[in-house]
Amino acid sequence: MKHWAKIAVAASLLFAGAAHAQTQTGFAAPVESSIQSVLPRMIAWRRDFHEHPELSYEEVRTARIVAAHLRSLRMEVRTGVAQTGVVGVLRGGRPGPVIALRADMDALPVTEEGELPFRSRARGTYNDQDVGIMHACGHDTHVAILMAAASVLAARREEIAGTIIFVFQPSEEGAPPGQMGGARRMLAENVFGDLQPEAIYGLHAWPAASGTVTMVSGPFMAGSDRLDITVTGSQTHGAQPHAGIDPIVASSQIINALQTVPSRQMDAVRSPVIVTIGSIHGGVRYNIIPQTVEMQGTIRYLNPETRDELYERIRRTITETAAATGATAEVTITENAIPTVNPPALMARTRAAAVRALGEERVLTGLPVMPAEDFAYFQQAVPGVFFFYGVNPPGVTPEEAAPNHNPRFFVHEPAMETALRAMVAVALDRVSE
């Protein structure tokens, strides 16, 4: 671990157990008192979840802890929504709007390399392989933050004008083959019951400055779909390539040609696109040209309006490049996530609430990014805002920090207080008189 990371761990351990010192003035005294009192438990929950991560649709232990906490707050609780999801309903003492707050619970098939005292040593099975399991994307913090927000808001139950739905979602990181992802499955299973929220909010840990949140109006995170390509040629001896059709050569030309889709076939300003081939398999022996080559990749895009055009160009580029070599290509595109788009008017109100709670200098305006989030499916059903909170230790730049999904991904725990304050602020903005 780098020297800065060791210092950061020490700092987290020192400050996380006590109410820590970000001076804020955006809340009434009783709310501020509730925030301060819940901080040690929030950190303890996070560490417990980090040490005991669970893969998609295996979040049994996490869900059990979440449900028990919500019941202790006298909420209406549903479990087993989308297999392992949990939904809690907090009905305020006064009539008002319905809103929803969401956190994702699943971990990744990543073996942790950090030196935290609560590092994960969990192992499991993913794609029939034995793998390490780690909260390498910060979902452990998301769950703990929303549990803490539930505590703060439930303490003000009689003053709340409206209803808050707490959604703890499984399987954000991608469902097992043949299954539906967590957000879509929760919606299909009537996650909101007989209630209809007027807004939903979610957040995500991100390698940016601790103590900040980043809010982007409009397209924020990319759509993400899987690309599967099977190139078929004609098997032959490696010394007689003319006697067959080489799918390996055809595949290499397809990989190069695909890069012309974002760079030469799509408007780079109107429709930012990434096409990545991450896996290629073909052949069994050094001197045999194989019959087929299989490739898998990912497609990322920000503009939903250009998606059909993008896919048409991808299919055409692949099939016609293969045909030019005498091979054929079969193309399958499978939807994983649609773009996360924050409605401008709702984002403006959300940002104003965050500024009141955190201060103007802590609420940043960033640029869209190409990772994806299935929170976007909730935004199809309910107007929603998704934002980042920075998790880097002081003095660590985004370029120096390990990115999400990295075995050394690191969360500076005092940053979680900022996320908690932001989530409480945007909720109270809707259900407080």
Catalytic residues: 106, 172
SS (H, E, C) 3-33: HHHHHHHHHHHHHHCCCCCCCCCCCCHHHHH
Residue 144: half-sphere exposure toward Cβ, Cα within 13 Å: 29
Q: Collapsing DSSP states into helix, strand and coil, what is residue 314?
A: helix
What residues pair up with 341 in beta bridges, in sequence order? 219
Residue 168: half-sphere exposure toward Cβ, Cα within 13 Å: 38
Q: Collapsing DSSP states into helix, strand and coil, what is residue 124?
A: strand
Closest CA to 363 of 345, 384, 349, 377: 349
Q: How buried is residue 76: exposed, middle or buried, by Cβ count under 10 Å (0-12/13-18/19+)?
A: middle
Task: Return the ∠ at Cα 15 (arms to 12 and 20), rounded to 5°.
Answer: 130
Beta strand ranges found along 33-82 (DSSP E): 76-81
What residues pair up with 178 in beta bridges, in sequence order? none
How far apart, in whole angstroms, are the C-alpha atoms of residue 87 and residue 79? 7
Q: Cα(first)–Cα(last) distance of the chain, in Å?
A: 48
Residue 264 makes CB contacts below 8 A (sequence gap 6+) with: none
- CB count within 10 Å of CB 55 equals 21
Residue 418 makes CB contacts below 8 A (sequence gap 6+) with: 22, 210, 211, 212, 213, 358, 362, 389, 390
What residues pair up with 387 in beta bridges, in sequence order? 203
Tell me what percent of the chain is helix, strand and coil, each rounded to the nearest 5. 35, 30, 35
Contact 9, 413 (CB under 8 A): no
- Retrieve residue 127's tokens: 């794609």
- Write the DSSP assignment of 135-189 as a string of letters: -TTSHHHHHHHHHHHHHHHHTTGGGBEEEEEEEEES--S-PPTTS--HHHHHHHT
